[in-house]
């Protein structure tokens, strides 16, 4: 009887504190909280590279509707990131992009994704229509560039 009472108290304590299993689901192994899934349409772009002279966004050009989230996935050859040229985006887009990248490296430059299958979401909610030219900072010299058209 003593063991069942202790077991019941432990179970109630775990439920009151949220339970260990539930916490593990919300916080991945890297310690970062899981990203909230976007509610808008999502378009995926793979970031690839083989460590020599081939690094690319696949596809290298996309057309999206305003409000779409672009999910950049580290397929191979990281670290990768997404940076936008300030003089090649529509007027008013810089504030929207910076807000969509809260853990960015710099103005108009996302954080790095370093592990295989790691993803980086950039939401174009409230983004002006037009052409956005981007690149991967570590692989710019290898020609890793991307064009996003919002229309």
Which tops the pLDDT comparison, 136 or 19?
136
The answer to whether residues 97 and 144 belong to one domain is: yes
The answer to whether residues 23 and 42 belong to one domain is: no
Residue 83: give the domain boundaries.
Answer: 36-150
Residue 38: pLDDT band by 50, 70, 90 thresholds? low
Q: Of 15-19, 85-89, 127-131, which range is least confident?
A: 15-19
The reply to whether 80 belongs to the active site is yes
DSSP assignment string, the chain: -HHHHHHHHHHHHHHHTT-HHHHHHHS-TTSSPPPPPPSS-EEEEEEEE-SSS-EEEESSEEEE-TTPEEEEEE-SS--B--EE-GGGS-TTHHHHHHHH-TT-SBTTBPPPB-STT-EEEEE-TTPPSEEEEEE-GGGGGGT-EEEEEE-
The answer to whether residues 75 and 120 belong to one domain is: yes
CATH of the domain at 140: 2.60.40.420
The reply to whether 101 belongs to the active site is no
**Catalytic hit among 1, 47, 101, 136:** 136
The answer to whether residues 18 and 69 belong to one domain is: no
**Which pLDDT score is estimated for 16?**
36
**Catalytic hit among 17, 80, 101, 142:** 80
The answer to whether residues 24 and 76 belong to one domain is: no
The reply to whether 139 belongs to the active site is yes
Please state the rounded mean pLDDT for residues 15-21. Answer: 36
**% pLDDT > 70, the chain:** 72
The answer to whether residues 97 and 45 belong to one domain is: yes
Domain count, the chain: 2
The answer to whether residues 50 and 117 belong to one domain is: yes
Residue 10: pLDDT band by 50, 70, 90 thresholds? very low
The answer to whether residues 51 and 14 belong to one domain is: no
pLDDT at 79 over 50: yes
pLDDT at 129 over 90: yes
The answer to whether residues 15 and 68 belong to one domain is: no
**Which pLDDT score is estimated for 40?**
76
**Which pLDDT score is estimated for 4?**
38
The answer to whether residues 29 and 79 belong to one domain is: no
The answer to whether residues 84 and 95 belong to one domain is: yes
Mean pLDDT score of the chain, rounded to an integer?
81
The answer to whether residues 72 and 23 belong to one domain is: no
């Amino acid at each position: 009887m003593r063991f069942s009472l202790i077991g019941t108290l432990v179970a109630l304590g775990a439920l009151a504190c949220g339970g260990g299993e539930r916490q593990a689901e919300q916080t991945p192994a890297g310690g970062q909280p899981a990203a909230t899934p976007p509610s808008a349409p999502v378009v995926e772009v793979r970031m690839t590279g083989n460590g020599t002279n081939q690094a690319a966004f696949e596809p290298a050009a996309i057309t999206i509707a305003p409000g779409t989230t672009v999910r950049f996935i580290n397929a191979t050859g990281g670290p990768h990131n997404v940076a936008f040229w300030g003089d090649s985006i529509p007027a008013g887009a810089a504030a929207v992009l910076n807000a969509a990248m809260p853990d960015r490296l710099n103005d108009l430059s996302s954080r790095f994704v370093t592990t295989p299958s790691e993803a980086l979401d950039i939401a174009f909610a409230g983004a002006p229509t037009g052409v956005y030219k981007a690149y991967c900072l570590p692989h710019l010299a290898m020609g890793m560039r991307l064009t996003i058209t919002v229309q």
